[in-house]
């Protein structure tokens, strides 16, 4: 469960997020919609403990994001849409990399044959149609800002 209560985020005199409240229950699927600069990314960063709210409270599975950030991080995953670190990394290699960062071992994970992926337009098509061999950047979205 995600609970956001009267959350505000300020950067000096600029208010990026103003008095946002909502709750998301188990099994619910939601999306944030809004124009550029509306505060969507800032709110997601507060949910994932990358930023602390200036005011209000955020809780993930009952854990406060300010007082218990490690407990929050253990209960969720956050993958940004664009990140130069893994832009060209295959999905299977990205998952192994991230699993290693948190101490998981990836023994026995399937891997696509080397060179089996070829980009085609905005999607990647791989040997055996294996999504694990696709580029992480191709899996993140079907389009890129110009």
Give residue for tokens 């009952």. 62
Residues contacting residue 133 through CB under 8 Å, at least 6 positions apart: 90, 91, 92, 111, 112, 113, 116, 117, 124, 126, 127
pLDDT at 27: 84
Top pLDDT among 26 and 56 is at 56
Top pLDDT among 80 and 24 is at 24
CA 102 and chain centroid, separation: 15
End-to-end CA gap in the chain: 36
CB 58 within 8 A of CB 64: yes
Determine whether 139 is exposed, middle or buried from the number of CB atoms within 10 Å of its CB (0-12, 13-18, 19+).
Answer: middle
Question: Average of pLDDT values for 43-66?
Answer: 95
Per-residue pLDDT band for 68 (boundaries 50, 70, 90) equals very high
Q: Where in the chain is the domain with CATH 3.40.50.300?
A: 2-74
pLDDT tens profile 24-39: 998 888 888 899 999 9
Top pLDDT among 90 and 134 is at 90
Taking 70 as the threshold, does the pLDDT of residue 144 lie above it? no
pLDDT at 94: 74
How many distinct helices (H) and strands (E) make up the chain?
A: 4, 6
pLDDT at 107: 59
Taking 70 as the threshold, does the pLDDT of residue 110 lie above it? no
User: Could you give the percent of the chain with pLDDT greater than 70?
Assistant: 64
Q: Residue 110 and residue 2: Cα distance in Å, rounded?
A: 33
Q: Which CATH architecture has domain 2-74?
A: 3-Layer(aba) Sandwich (3.40)
């Amino acid at each position: 469960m995600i609970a956001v209560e009267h959350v505000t985020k300020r950067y000096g005199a600029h208010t990026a997020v103003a008095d946002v409240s909502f709750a998301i229950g188990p099994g619910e699927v939601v999306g944030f919609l809004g124009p550029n600069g509306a505060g969507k990314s800032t709110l997601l960063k507060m949910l994932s403990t990358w930023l602390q709210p200036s005011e209000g409270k955020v809780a993930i599975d009952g854990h406060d994001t300010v007082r218990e950030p490690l407990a929050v991080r253990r209960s969720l995953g956050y993958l940004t849409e664009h990140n130069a670190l893994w832009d060209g990394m295959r999905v299977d290699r990205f998952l192994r990399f991230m699993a290693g960062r948190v101490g998981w071992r990836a023994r026995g994970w399937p891997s696509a044959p080397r060179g089996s992926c070829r980009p085609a337009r905005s999607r990647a098509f791989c040997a055996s149609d294996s999504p694990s061999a696709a580029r992480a950047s191709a899996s993140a979205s079907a389009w890129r800002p110009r």
